[in-house]
Amino acid sequence: MKPKLLIVELWGLGDLIIATPIIRAAAERYDVTLLAKPFALDLRPRLWPGVNVVPFVAPWTAFKGKYRLWQWHWPQILRLGREFETGHFEWGLSARWDPRDHLILKLIGVKNRLGFPRAGSTILLSHPLAKPDPEAHRYEYWRTGARALGLDLPQREKIPISTPRNPQTVLIHSGAGQTIRVWPLVNYRGLAARLREQGFAVQIACDPEQRDWWLRSGESGVATPPNVADLIALTDHAGVFIGNDSGPGHLAAFCGVPTFTIFGPQVAEWFVPLHPWAEWMDGKVCPYMPCSDYCRYPVPFCIRNITEMEVWPRVEKFVHTHCKTEAVNVR
């Protein structure tokens, strides 16, 4: 009988995609339960079908008001521990240096609790882990945790990736979790026009709040996937992906689609999608970088000041390398 392992990743879509290699590897030797946001249920059939998913929205992952402890749904948090009482987890792992994750492992009653201590959370962990190099990709934290579990994950550049199902369509996704990470839509429209002029099929996708802008710009076929399942279906029709530092790009990479990411406030080396052919454009230098999703200036010039003319030569080469032209364009 496999020992029971609880993996905790309570943040965004991209974060959970980065955890996918360890979830898959662990499922071969452990009975894995994943504690994650509800969209993990949509990811499970495609990425880790044998894993038990427990959906949970942690209040501290909200963009606003995350530190208003009096507004947290404390009964739900405490009930989480009681719901897992019958789980008898022998092992538990969080790849974040977050005491709140460590407290959850403790509340659930995990016997062997692995994590990266911070702010005194060593007392909540039975197996504190040493952090990787500060310049390392987020994936390296999962690799460190994997080694503690007796698992050997490949280097980031050697993760097995499937082949795109449709190498003839360029998928441009203009959305992101926060506006500070969004490259101006007019620039994406310019890239799409240039690619279509060269005979490439282009599918535009966006977040709901961007849809009207694209429609007004004449993009009648713009897609606005309402959930992760529909986003996966859209990605399956792409040969390459172009977009912001966001969850859809990470998902595309793990579905086998080469990605070109336009970064802003974050350090690209920390969050480049897990694809061996991934390319990216760094944000403009800022004295406060990385600043995550909070900008000290009225306008996040780190991403807004990246021009279409700067990005185009690299995107053109990227698309010509990985995609095929098609007579009929998608509009």
CATH number at residue 230: 3.40.50.2000
What is the rounded CA–CA span in Å between residue 33 and residue 311?
41
For residues 11 and 92, membership in a common domain is answered with: yes
Domain of residue 243, residue span: 169-322
Name, in order, each residue with C-beta under 8 angstroms of 312's C-beta and a sequence gap of 6 or more: 190, 191, 194
- In the predicted model, residues of the chain with pLDDT beneath 70 are 60-87, 164-166, 325-331
Q: Is residue 327 part of a domain?
A: no
Q: Is residue 330 part of a domain?
A: no
For residues 147 and 183, membership in a common domain is answered with: no
Per-residue pLDDT at 327 = 45
- When divided into structural domains, the chain yields a total of 2
Among 158, 185, 212, the domain boundary falls at: 158
Q: Is residue 78 part of a domain?
A: yes
Place of tokens 């739900």: 76
At 173-213, the pLDDT tens digits run 999 988 899 999 999 999 999 999 999 999 999 999 999 99
Whether 168 and 239 have beta carbons less than 8 Å apart is answered as: yes
Q: Is residue 328 part of a domain?
A: no
Among 158, 184, 217, the domain boundary falls at: 158
**Treating both helix axes as pointing N-terminal to C-terminal, what angle do 228-235 and 40-47 enclose, rounded to 10 degrees?**
40
Q: Tokens in use for 25?
A: 């590897």
For residues 88 and 216, membership in a common domain is answered with: no
CA distances, 239 to each of 166, 201, 232, 320, 324 (Å) = 5, 10, 13, 11, 8
Q: Is residue 130 part of a domain?
A: yes
For residues 176 and 294, membership in a common domain is answered with: yes
Q: What is the pTM for the complete model shown?
A: 0.90
Per-residue pLDDT at 225 = 96
For residues 102 and 141, membership in a common domain is answered with: yes
Nearest to 59 by CA among 50, 49, 67, 51: 67
Place of tokens 């977040």: 207
For residues 149 and 60, membership in a common domain is answered with: yes
What is the rounded CA–CA span in Å between residue 288 and residue 298?
14
Using CA atoms in the order 22, 26, 28, 32, what is the torsion angle rounded to 10 degrees?
-120
Name, in order, each residue with C-beta under 8 angstroms of 173's C-beta and a sequence gap of 6 or more: 205, 206, 241, 242, 243, 244, 246, 248, 249, 252
**φ/ψ (deg, to 5) at 195:** -65, -40
For residues 177 and 317, membership in a common domain is answered with: yes
Place of tokens 């969850």: 247
Name, in order, each residue with C-beta under 8 angstroms of 94's C-beta and a sequence gap of 6 or more: 7, 8, 9, 101, 102, 104, 105, 114, 115, 116
Q: Is residue 30 part of a domain?
A: yes
For residues 178 and 79, membership in a common domain is answered with: no
What is the rounded CA–CA span in Å between residue 329 and residue 148?
49
For residues 226 and 271, membership in a common domain is answered with: yes
For residues 65 and 187, membership in a common domain is answered with: no
Per-residue pLDDT at 150 = 96
Q: Is residue 174 part of a domain?
A: yes
Among 139, 158, 177, the domain boundary falls at: 158
For residues 129 and 26, membership in a common domain is answered with: yes
Per-residue pLDDT at 107 = 83
Per-residue pLDDT at 17 = 96
Per-residue pLDDT at 38 = 94
For residues 104 and 228, membership in a common domain is answered with: no
Q: Is residue 329 part of a domain?
A: no
Residue 190, judged by CB atoms within 10 A of its CB (0-12, 13-18, 19+), counts as: middle
